[in-house]
Chains A and B, each alone.
Chain A
Amino acid sequence: MGMEKLSYDLKSEEALSVLTDVFSQAITGELIGMSNFASMAGAIDDPHEKMEAVEHADSERQHAEGFMAHAEKLGLKVKVNLEGEYWGRVRNIFLSYAAKKDFIACLAIQEVMLEAFAVSMYTDVGKALDNEAGKMFLSIAEEEKEHMEHSTEFLRDELHKDKDKFLKKFEQLHNDCMTILAEFSLTSDCTDSCGVCHGNCMKSSLPIVGLDVGSMRGNALSLYARALDHIGIPGEQSIKWIANLPV
């Protein structure tokens, strides 16, 4: 098969610059996910769950490869930086719980918080880019949804075992991780470089490709809130947590 024709009508220098950053963030996020699932495999004693974590890590690797290949096809020079300002902090938080072999914390951070942002933002990107790249984002969003669903049952069981203890723990995880994601997705441009975007912060340039950081953030928080609902976290608790996030 010959190289497929891409139907971008987003060929301006500015648009390609934004797309470079969008792909860079997506690839970095997938590699963070891959690393987290790999670390999680070491934090689990149950052999089936251990294998599942490895499988999820491989799935994230494939997503990263897919994004990389597509970016290359578009001639985008992506930047991958797992130690950037926000991604690095997220990874360190995750590792602190993995080191304690805290499977529930690892699930909550990776499969609820990070995946909620990934699924929502990939869906927004996919819908905005009405082309092959868009389809790829949408299809990966669908696959990431399965990771979210995987965690729900575990977390629900854990909540039923000891509700007060679970809510206290989840609140701590929310404060640890969601605070970083909320800062990352603030509608104002990042004051310091996130270490992934290749030039200035891409947020204010997103409209060039039909995106808007305000609605992307809003949709991500919405999906996160729904994920908490599915676990069974009371609304009066989750709204307090969300209301206290950085704005």
Chain B
Amino acid sequence: MENEAHIDFAVIGHQDNWPSVQSIINGMRSGENEPLTVAQIKGTFSYIPPRSIFKMTAKSKTGKTVNGVYIETFIDPDELTPHFLRKNINKVNEAISVALKHKSKIIALGGFTSIVLEGNLSQFDTSSSKITTGNTLTSAYILKGVTDAILKLNKRLQDCNVLIIGATGDIGSACTHYLSSKVKGLLLNARNGRKLEAFAQQFTDTSAEIKWNTRLEELIPMADIIICVASSASIEIKDYKKQVVICDAGYPKNLDTKIEEGNGTFVFHGGMGTVNYGYDFKPDYREHFYNYPRPHIAHGCILEAVVLAFEGKYENFSSGKGNIKTESIDKIHELSVKHGVELAPFYNSKGLCEISLPKSSKG
């Protein structure tokens, strides 16, 4: 029977906005029932306890197939703020219990839900199910994305100043460590000045020149590459260099809506990968659930669990905060490529995008 098929991985997720919720809920309604408005859905959505809403199957380049389940937390998109932290953590904990009931061998905490793993894991019995934030593969795709983009612009990473917005977070910290010996300068930004300074002090002996500031506008004009991994809808990118590469891997991904592209300025959604040999959903909600410009794209955090399942490597691969090692980034990326799970094509909210060299650089 369907429910008794073994589950290799579980993905715990949430919706970022009400139109996404509306699309999914209306996708579940049968044809004879009228589609619901956002206002109608808002009254009930967040009362629903976390539950599996579809099963997944992903295929590896090696021919291996793994089975997964998507567990929706039903977190209210308007409540993805620190004010509702306790309530949201309870929902994530409940979602983990659902994943454990499915006997998932590995559980990925997607998006905001990874906050639980930045705290205490000991409350969960992880003897048979492992839990990962998936932040290591997300970091790998961010770094691979900016590296590829720079190469296409005929630039060298070692000549670039990289601004990391949200540098003290788990992914920001991983990217900072990774780039500290590979770039000309690191420009670090975070909201908490005390934490930022303590973090930046770790890099004063590295080859990259380090600058840090809580005021973003002080750093932006110096940046050749901007990696945004902060959770904030209100980040403003102004006075940037004309040929800046911006990797928007934060939440929500809205920077391309605020920036004029062209003439070398390039904004893409980072941290995303593609399963080259495909994945599918059952029930098939792709029409309502899937918002990417090419098939089989997914967040790096989800794909980390898929890759670990392909590999049969069931471990708490990414957990805690600030624990991601450069070697782990390289390792998970290598495994990812081995299974045909690779960096997603460049895209942003307007669709697929290509880097165009500024006129002066064209031969």
Q: Report A's interface with B, CB cutoff 8 A.
A: 163-164, 187, 214-215, 217-219, 221-222, 225-226, 229, 232, 234-236, 238-240, 242-244, 247
Q: How far is the CA of A187 from the CA of B283 in the complex (A)?
A: 30
By a CB distance below 8 angstroms, the chain B residues around A219 are 47
Judging by beta carbons under 8 Å apart, are A239 and B1 in contact?
A: no
User: B50-58, B149-157, B267-275, B316-324: which lies at the A interface?
Assistant: B50-58
Q: Does B48 contact A (CB under 8 A)?
A: yes
Selected from B28, B51, B52, the residue in CB contact (under 8 A) with A225 is B51
Selected from B29, B44, B48, B53, the residue in CB contact (under 8 A) with A236 is B53
Judging by beta carbons under 8 Å apart, are B51 and A229 in contact?
A: yes
Q: How far is the CA of A222 from the CA of B47 in the complex (A)?
A: 6
Selected from A214, A222, A238, A244, the residue in CB contact (under 8 A) with B29 is A244
A218 touching B43 in the complex, CB below 8 Å, given contacts A235-B98, A243-B29, A244-B29: yes
Q: How far is the CA of A202 from the CA of B110 in the complex (A)?
A: 42
By a CB distance below 8 angstroms, the chain B residues around A221 are 44, 47-48
A236 touching B55 in the complex, CB below 8 Å, given contacts A222-B49, A225-B48, A243-B25: yes
Q: How far is the CA of A229 from the CA of B51 in the complex (A)?
A: 9
Q: How far is the CA of A236 from the CA of B7 in the complex (A)?
A: 15
Contacting residues of chain B (35-94) with chain A, CB-CB under 8 angstroms: 36, 40-41, 43-44, 46-49, 51-55, 71-72
Q: Report B's interface with A, CB cutoff 8 A.
A: 1-3, 25, 28-30, 33, 36, 40-41, 43-44, 46-49, 51-55, 71-72, 98, 283
Give chain A nearest CB distance to B171 CB in angstroms: 29
Judging by beta carbons under 8 Å apart, are A235 and B44 in contact?
A: no
Give chain B nearest CB distance to A167 CB in angstroms: 10
The tally of CB-CB contacts under 8 A between chains A and B is 63
A226's nearest neighbour on chain B, judged by CB, is B49
Judging by beta carbons under 8 Å apart, are B28 and A235 in contact?
A: no
B33's nearest neighbour on chain A, judged by CB, is A244
Give chain A nearest CB distance to B293 CB in angstroms: 26
B55's nearest neighbour on chain A, judged by CB, is A236
By a CB distance below 8 angstroms, the chain B residues around A234 are 2-3, 52
Can you list 29 A-B contacts (CB < 8 A)? A163-B3, A164-B1, A187-B43, A217-B43, A217-B44, A218-B44, A218-B46, A219-B47, A221-B47, A222-B47, A222-B49, A225-B48, A226-B49, A229-B51, A235-B51, A235-B71, A235-B98, A236-B51, A236-B52, A236-B283, A239-B28, A240-B28, A242-B48, A243-B25, A243-B28, A243-B29, A244-B28, A244-B29, A247-B40
By a CB distance below 8 angstroms, the chain A residues around B36 are 247
Give chain A nearest CB distance to B85 CB in angstroms: 20
Q: How far is the CA of A225 from the CA of B30 in the complex (A)?
A: 19
By a CB distance below 8 angstroms, the chain A residues around B40 are 247
Most buried by B among A221, A226, A243: A243
By a CB distance below 8 angstroms, the chain A residues around B283 are 236, 240
A243's nearest neighbour on chain B, judged by CB, is B28
By a CB distance below 8 angstroms, the chain A residues around B28 are 239-240, 243-244
A162's nearest neighbour on chain B, judged by CB, is B1
Most buried by A among B36, B41, B47, B53: B47
Judging by beta carbons under 8 Å apart, are B43 and A239 in contact?
A: no
By a CB distance below 8 angstroms, the chain A residues around B53 are 235-236, 239
Q: How far is the CA of A225 from the CA of B283 in the complex (A)?
A: 19
Judging by beta carbons under 8 Å apart, are B43 and A214 in contact?
A: yes
Give chain B nearest CB distance to A127 CB in angstroms: 16
Judging by beta carbons under 8 Å apart, are A222 and B48 in contact?
A: yes
Q: How far is the CA of A218 from the CA of B47 in the complex (A)?
A: 5
Q: How far is the CA of A218 from the CA of B55 in the complex (A)?
A: 26
By a CB distance below 8 angstroms, the chain A residues around B49 are 222, 225-226, 229
Q: How far is the CA of A240 from the CA of B285 in the complex (A)?
A: 12
B2's nearest neighbour on chain A, judged by CB, is A234
Give chain B nearest CB distance to A181 CB in angstroms: 13
A244 touching B30 in the complex, CB below 8 Å, given contacts A214-B43, A234-B3, A235-B98: yes
Most buried by A among B29, B40, B51, B54: B51
Extra A-B contacts (19), CB below 8 Å, given A221-B44, A235-B52, A236-B52: A164-B1, A187-B43, A214-B43, A217-B44, A218-B46, A221-B48, A226-B49, A229-B98, A234-B52, A235-B51, A236-B283, A239-B51, A240-B28, A242-B48, A244-B28, A244-B29, A244-B30, A247-B41, A247-B43
By a CB distance below 8 angstroms, the chain A residues around B72 are 239
Q: How far is the CA of A215 from the CA of B76 in the complex (A)?
A: 14
Selected from B2, B30, B41, B48, the residue in CB contact (under 8 A) with A239 is B48
B54's nearest neighbour on chain A, judged by CB, is A236
Give chain A nearest CB distance to B15 CB in angstroms: 13
Q: How far is the CA of A187 from the CA of B39 in the complex (A)?
A: 12
What are the 9 closest A-B residue pairs judged by CB atoms, nearest first? A235-B51, A218-B47, A235-B52, A243-B28, A247-B40, A222-B47, A240-B28, A163-B1, A234-B3
Q: How far is the CA of A200 from the CA of B33 in the complex (A)?
A: 29
By a CB distance below 8 angstroms, the chain B residues around A229 are 49, 51, 98
